[in-house]
Amino acid sequence: MSTLLEVRHVSRSFHTTTAVDDISFAVQPGELLGLIGPNGAGKSTLFNLIAGVLPPSAGQILFDGKPVTGWKSHDIARIGIARTFQIPKPYRQLSVVENVMLSAFLREKSLAGARKLAETTLADVGLADYSGAPANSLTVGLLKRLEVARALAMRPKLVLFDEIMAGLTPTEVGVMTGFVAGLPARGITVIWVEHVLYAIMKTATRMVVINRGKLIAEGAPAVMARDPAVVKAYLGEEMVLA
Amino acid sequence: MSTLTQLVLSGILIGSVYALMSIGLTLIFGVLRIVNFAHGEFLMIAMYGGWAFSNLFGLNPYVAALAIVPAMFLFGAVVYWLVISPALDKPHLVVVFATMALSIFLQNAALMAMTADLRDIPPIFNRSITIGPIFLKVELLLGFLITILCTVGLQWMIKKTYLGKAIRATVQDGEAAMLMGIPVPRIFLITFAGGSALVGLAACVMVPLFSVFPSVGLNFVLIAFVIVVLGGMGSIEGALLGGICVGVMQSLSGYYIAPAFGQMFFFVLFLLVMIFRPNGLLGQKGAAMIGMNE
Amino acid sequence: MSIAIPASISSRRIPVLPKRGQISWFEIVLLVISLGLVVSGIAPSLQDVILLSFLFAGLGLAWNIAGGYAGLISFGHSAFFGVGAYTSTILLLRYDISPWIGIWVGALIAAVFGSILALICARLRGPFFILSTLAFAEVVRIGALNWSSLTGGPEGLSIPPMASLAGMVFASKATYAALMLGYLVFVYGITKGLEASRFGYYLFAIRDNDDAASAAGVNPLLGRTAAMALSAALTGVGGSLFAQYFLYLDPTYVISPELSFQFALLPAVGGLGTAIGPVLGSFLITPLSELLRSHLGNAAAGLHLVIYSFGLIVVMLYFPAGLAGALNKLTRWKPFS
For residue B99, the SS3 value is helix
Are residues C4 and A141 in contact, defined by beta-carbon separation less than 8 angstroms? no
In the prediction, which pLDDT does C216 show? 93
Distance CA C60, CA C65 (A): 9
C281, HSE (Cβ side, Cα atoms, 13 Å): 35
Distance CA C156, CA B269 (A): 27
State the Cα angle at C237 between C236 and C242, rounded to 5°. 95
Q: How confident is the model over C157-181, as pLDDT tens digits?
A: 888 888 888 888 888 888 898 899 9
In the prediction, which pLDDT does C299 show? 57
Q: Select from B143, B137, B152, B120 the least CA-distant residue to B20.
A: B143
Which CATH number is A1-71+159-166+188-242 given? 3.40.50.300
The average confidence (pLDDT) of chain C is 85
Q: Which of C4, C5, C205 sits opposite A102 (nearest CB)?
A: C205
How many C-beta atoms surround the C-beta of residue A132 within 10 A?
Answer: 15
Q: For chain A, state the CA radius of gyration.
A: 18
Percentage of chain C beyond pLDDT 90 is: 44
C306 touches chain B (CB under 8 A): yes
Which pLDDT tens digits describe chain B residue by residue (294 residues)?
A: 688 888 899 899 999 999 999 998 888 888 888 888 899 999 999 999 999 999 888 888 888 999 999 999 999 999 999 999 988 888 777 888 888 889 989 998 998 888 888 888 887 777 777 777 777 888 888 889 999 999 899 888 888 888 888 888 887 777 788 888 888 888 899 999 999 999 999 999 999 889 999 988 887 887 888 888 788 777 788 888 889 988 888 888 877 776 666 667 778 888 888 888 777 665 555 445 443 332
* pLDDT band at residue A236 under the 50/70/90 scheme: low
Contact (CB<8Å) B267/C209? no
In the prediction, which pLDDT does B215 show? 87
Q: For chain B, state the CA radius of gyration.
A: 19
Q: Which residues in chain C have their CB less than 8 angstroms from residue A73's CB? A: 211, 214-215
Q: Tell me the H-state helices in B126-261.
A: 138-160, 162-172, 174-179, 184-206, 216-231, 236-256
Q: Please tell me the distance in Å from C192's CA to the nearest CA on chain B.
A: 23
User: Which of C208, C210, C219 is best to mutate for the A interface (most A CBs within 10 A)?
Assistant: C208
Distance CA B168, CA B30 (A): 9
Residue A37 region by backbone torsions, left for phi larger than 0, else alpha for psi between -120 and 50, else beta: left
Q: How confident is the model over C22-52, as pLDDT tens digits?
A: 777 777 888 878 777 777 766 667 888 888 9
In the prediction, which pLDDT does C300 show? 64
Contact (CB<8Å) A105/C198? yes
Q: Please tell me the distance in Å from C199's CA to the nearest CA on chain B.
A: 20
Distance CA C71, CA C273 (A): 9
Q: Please tell me the distance in Å from C69's CA to the nearest CA on chain A.
A: 11
Distance CA B34, CA B42 (A): 16
Kindly give, in sequence order, each residue whose CB lies less than 8 Å from that of residue C253, ignoring residues fewer than 6 positions away. C259
In the prediction, which pLDDT does B294 show? 29
- What ipTM did this prediction achieve? 0.89
Which CATH number is C42-330 given? 1.10.3470
Residue C307 region by backbone torsions, left for phi larger than 0, else alpha for psi between -120 and 50, else beta: alpha
Contact (CB<8Å) C316/B98? yes
Q: Which residue has the higher pLDDT, C113 or A19?
A: C113
Nearest C-alpha in C relative to A101: C201
Q: How confident is the model over C51-97, as pLDDT tens digits?
A: 899 999 999 999 999 999 999 999 999 999 999 999 999 999 999 89
Q: Which residue has the higher pLDDT, B108 or C300?
A: B108
CA distances from C82 to C188, C243, C249, C293 (A): 21, 9, 9, 21
Q: Which of A73, A126, A137 sits opposite C4 (nearest CB)?
A: A126
Nearest C-alpha in B relative to C130: B96
In the prediction, which pLDDT does C7 show? 39
User: Which of C129, C132, C208 is best to mutate for the B interface (most B CBs within 10 A)?
Assistant: C132
Chains B, C: CB contacts under 8 A, how many? Answer: 139
Q: Please tell me the distance in Å from A208's CA to the nearest CA on chain C.
A: 24
C209 touches chain B (CB under 8 A): yes
In the prediction, which pLDDT does C331 show? 59
Contact (CB<8Å) B267/C302? no
